[in-house]
Structures are given as structure tokens and as C-alpha cells.
Amino acid sequence: MKTHIRARSVQPDGRTLEANAPAAQRMRRFRWRDLRLWLGLAFMLVAMVFGASLMSGSQDTTMVWRASRDLAPGALPAVEPVAVSLGSAAASYASAQQPLEGRMILPVSAGSLVPMSAVSSQSAGAFRRMTVPVDPLHAPVDLSAGDRVDVWATESDGGQTSSAPPVLVLPKVLVVSADRESVGVGGEIAVVIEVPLADVTAVVAAIRSGVVDLASVPLTDLADGGSE
């Protein structure tokens, strides 16, 4: 049995008026099964997991060497240790856990990480730098530091080239610099190469006895392990 409560009001003339009382409003219950709520919670959970994985990954650093100044081919490595996050690429760079020995065979700019492929394992004391005067037409037009060349020599007699065949003096030597702007008295350009100590005499003899030619070594030959 339902009981209705009616509100009464007294008028100035003594009459009473009854009015229906407003119905009670029930509070809307929070629905935990609301799809939008669950989607929001799932998004927050994924974001938290992703953020935690990023933070843990950033803490996984490796100590490697970086160049403390510009390093040209043939230079001794001037490096300093730095902690970086490289992931699977860490094996491609020189680890600071071991001293970096040898000579640079590829240029590395100051502040850059030193790749393992940029450093030769040869001892620094086993080489000498030599300046070879070469006629511009007897060297590759695009010759530059870091290239590898074969050094050929042809004997000459009184300024006239003899009929003797050219001789390979030294294969696959490293070019330290090639200055085409600086031309010698005879019109030659100065090319600085890195020569093994045992072959210095042969290169000097080739320079003094005839004409020197430099032949560029293709990268395919170097990839076969023929570089010094």
C-alpha cells in the first residue's frame, strides 16, 4: 500500500491547499562495467609499462670511445670514454674497457663515437709517412684522405721515360692527404702516404729513379681483407 504525503498550505482566508510533494530522486549508481572506464584503465596501464621499459632501457649504457678531436686517416687515436645507450649496435664501436691501439684508417670528427672499422690493428710504430710527388695525370682525380692506392714506378733515363715496364712498388697503401692545390716546381702534387717501415727504402728509390703512378684500389679488393 502506497502512502502519498501531501503538503498543505494555509491561506489568509483560512483555507488550506494541498500540493503533491516532489518525488524523491535516487542517486545514480556508478557502473563499474562501463566500457569507457575499462578502456581508460587499460590505456593507463599500458602507458605505465611502456614508460618503465623506457626508463630501464636508458639505464643500460655501454662505455665506448669517442674522438676528443678530429682524427684523420693515419693519426693516432685521441679519444675519451663516454657512456651511451647503443643496444645491439654496441659491438660496432670501440669499447672503452680496452685501450685503443693502432692507427686511424677512416676519418672521425671530434665528439663522434669511434667505430671499430675506423681503427687499424697495426702497430703505430710499424709505419712511416712519406710525401710522394706525383704528376696530376698520374693519380686518380678524386684522390682523398682515407683512400688506398697501389704505388707503381717506371724507371727514367735522363728525363726520358725508358721502355722498361712499370713495377709495383707497394700495394694498397693508405693515403693520409692529397693536396691538389699545392703544386711543386715540376708541376707535381704532394700525396702523403703511410708506408710500412720495411718498405720505406723501396719507395724512396722509386721516387728518385723514375715516374711514380698511383692506382686507386677498389673497395671490393679491400673488403677481401687486402688492406694494410
Say whether pLDDT at 2 is over 70.
no
What's this model's pTM, rounded to 2 decimal places? 0.52
Say whether pLDDT at 8 is over 80.
no
Average of per-residue pLDDT values in the chain: 76
Mean pLDDT of 40-47: 74
How much is the pLDDT for 90? 82
Distance CA 72, CA 85 (A): 26
- Give phi and psi for 30, each to the nearest 5: -75, 125
Three-class DSSP category at 138: helix
Say whether pLDDT at 64 is over 80.
yes
DSSP letters, 64-82, are EEEESS-B-TTPPP-EEEE
Q: How far apart are the first and last CA of the chain?
A: 107
How much is the pLDDT for 155? 85
pLDDT band at 202 (very low <50, low <70, confident <90, very high): very high
Distance CA 108, CA 222 (A): 19
Distance CA 22, CA 18 (A): 13
Distance CA 121, CA 124 (A): 9
Mean pLDDT of 15-41: 58
Distances (CA, A) of 142 to 192, 206, 217, 222: 15, 23, 12, 18
Say whether pLDDT at 160 is over 80.
no
* pLDDT, tens digit (0-9, with 9 covering 90-100), for 179-195: 777 666 567 899 999 89
58: exposed, middle or buried (Cβ count in 10 Å: 0-12, 13-18, 19+): exposed
How much is the pLDDT for 132? 92
* pLDDT, tens digit (0-9, with 9 covering 90-100), for 91-121: 888 888 888 887 787 888 889 999 988 887 6
* pLDDT, tens digit (0-9, with 9 covering 90-100), for 122-153: 655 678 889 999 998 999 988 887 788 999 99
How much is the pLDDT for 170? 93
pLDDT band at 35 (very low <50, low <70, confident <90, very high): low
How much is the pLDDT for 4? 52
